[in-house]
Structure 1
Amino acid sequence: MNKINKASDMIETFLTNKYSAEEYKIKLKQIKSDNIQYEALLDHKDDKLDRDGHIFKNYEVAKKIFASWLTDDVKPMDILLALRNLQVVGISLKEGEDDPQVIFESINSTGVALTNSDLIRNFLLMSDHDQDRLFEDYWVPIESFLRRENDNNQIDLFFRQFVVMKLNSTVTERKVYQKFVDIFKGNNYDHESALKEIKHYDKIYAAFLYPEESDYSDEIKNYLLDLREIKQTTCYPFLMHIFADYHADVIDEATLTKVLHMIDVYLIRRSICNVPTNSLNGLFAYLYSRVFRVKKNKDIYYEVINKYLSIQTGKDAIPSDEDLEHSLFYAKIYQNLPLCRLIMLDIENGDTKEKIVTDNLTIEHIMPQTMSKAWRKNITEGEHDTFVHTLGNLSVTGYNSEMSNKSFAEKKKILADNSKVVILNEDVIDKDTWTVNDIKNRSRRLAKILLDKYRLTKVVDSDIKFEDVDKISVIKPDEATGRKPISFTLQDADYPVKSFKEIPVKLLNLLDQDDPEKLNDLIGLTWKNNFDEPNSNNSVVICRKDNIRPEMEWNYSEVRDGIYVMAGGAAWKIMHVIKQLLDAYGIEDSEFAISVRKK
Structure 2
Amino acid sequence: NLSRDDFHSAIRLIEAYVFRRAVCAIPTNSLNKSFATFHKSLQKNRYLESIKAHLLGLKSYRRFPNDEEFKRELAVRDLYNFRSRSYWLRRLENFERKERVPVDEYTIEHIMPQNENLSARWKDELGPEWKRVHETWLHTLGNLTLTGYNSEYSDRAFIEKRDMQGGFKQSPLRLNEGLGAVEAWNEDSIKNRAAKLAQEAVRVWAAPVLPDEILDTYRNVAVKPEAYNLEDHPQLANGTPMRALFEQLRKEVLALDTSVTEEVLKLYIAFKAETNFVDVVPQKTRLRLSLNMPFHELSDPK
TM-score category (smaller protein): 0.5 to 0.7
**Alpha-carbon separation, structure 2, partners of 1:282 and 1:349:** 32
1:312 matched residue in structure 2: 58
**Alpha-carbon separation, structure 2, partners of 1:260 and 1:552:** 45
Contact in 2 for aligned 1:328/1:391 (Cα 8 Å)? yes
Between 432-441 and 449-458, report the one with greater CA deviation. Answer: 449-458
Give the deviation of 1:336 after TM superposition: 1.4
Contact in 1 for aligned 2:169/2:180 (Cα 8 Å)? no
How do 1:183-194 and structure 2 match up within 5 A?
A: none
Q: Report SS of the residue matched to 2:200.
A: helix
How do 1:135-534 and structure 2 match up within 5 A?
A: 250-288=1-39, 290-292=40-42, 297-336=43-82, 338-339=84-85, 341-370=86-115, 371-379=118-126, 380-412=130-162, 413=164, 414-416=166-168, 419-421=171-173, 423-459=174-210, 460-464=214-218, 471-472=223-224, 479-482=225-228
Aligned-pair identity in percent equals 31
Give the deviation of 1:278 after TM superposition: 2.7
Contact in 2 for aligned 1:555/1:568 (Cα 8 Å)? no
1:542 matched residue in structure 2: none
Distance 1:417 1:310, change over 3 A: closer
The C-alpha deviation readout for 1:174-207, integer Å capped at 9, x for no partner, is xxxxxxxxxxxxxxxxxxxxxxxxxxxxxxxxxx
Which has the larger share of helix? 1
Give the deviation of 1:443 after TM superposition: 1.0
Distance 1:458 1:417, change over 3 A: closer
2:289 matched residue in structure 1: none
Contact in 1 for aligned 2:71/2:198 (Cα 8 Å)? yes
2:268 matched residue in structure 1: none
Give the deviation of 1:411 after TM superposition: 1.4
Give the deviation of 1:556 after TM superposition: 5.4
**Alpha-carbon separation, structure 1, partners of 2:177 and 2:106:** 18
**Alpha-carbon separation, structure 2, partners of 1:560 and 1:267:** 27
1:201 matched residue in structure 2: none
Contact in 2 for aligned 1:398/1:419 (Cα 8 Å)? no
1:553 matched residue in structure 2: 247
**Alpha-carbon separation, structure 1, partners of 2:263 and 2:180:** 66
Query: Letter of the aligned partner of 2:27 in structure 1?
Result: P
Distance 1:261 1:407, change over 3 A: same
**Alpha-carbon separation, structure 1, partners of 2:254 and 2:157:** 52
TM-score, L = length of structure 2: 0.68
Contact in 2 for aligned 1:275/1:315 (Cα 8 Å)? yes
Distance 1:431 1:252, change over 3 A: closer
Q: Report SS of the residue matched to 2:193.
A: helix
**Alpha-carbon separation, structure 1, partners of 2:51 and 2:73:** 26
Query: Letter of the aligned partner of 2:156 in structure 1?
Result: K
**Alpha-carbon separation, structure 1, partners of 2:262 and 2:30:** 29
Distance 1:463 1:432, change over 3 A: closer
Give the deviation of 1:554 after TM superposition: 3.7
Q: Report SS of the residue matched to 2:120.
A: coil
Query: Letter of the aligned partner of 2:109 in structure 1?
Result: E
Q: Report SS of the residue matched to 2:167.
A: helix
Contact in 2 for aligned 1:555/1:569 (Cα 8 Å)? no
Give the deviation of 1:401 after TM superposition: 2.4
Contact in 2 for aligned 1:554/1:568 (Cα 8 Å)? no
Give the deviation of 1:408 after TM superposition: 1.4
Bigger Rg over Cα: 1
Distance 1:390 1:553, change over 3 A: same
The C-alpha deviation readout for 1:30-62, integer Å capped at 9, x for no partner, is xxxxxxxxxxxxxxxxxxxxxxxxxxxxxxxxx
Q: Report SS of the residue matched to 2:108.
A: strand
Runs (5+) with no aligned partner, structure 2: 232-237, 256-260, 266-302
* Two-structure CA RMSD over aligned residues (Å): 3.3
Instruction: Report the count of equivalent residues.
Output: 240
Distance 1:404 1:338, change over 3 A: farther
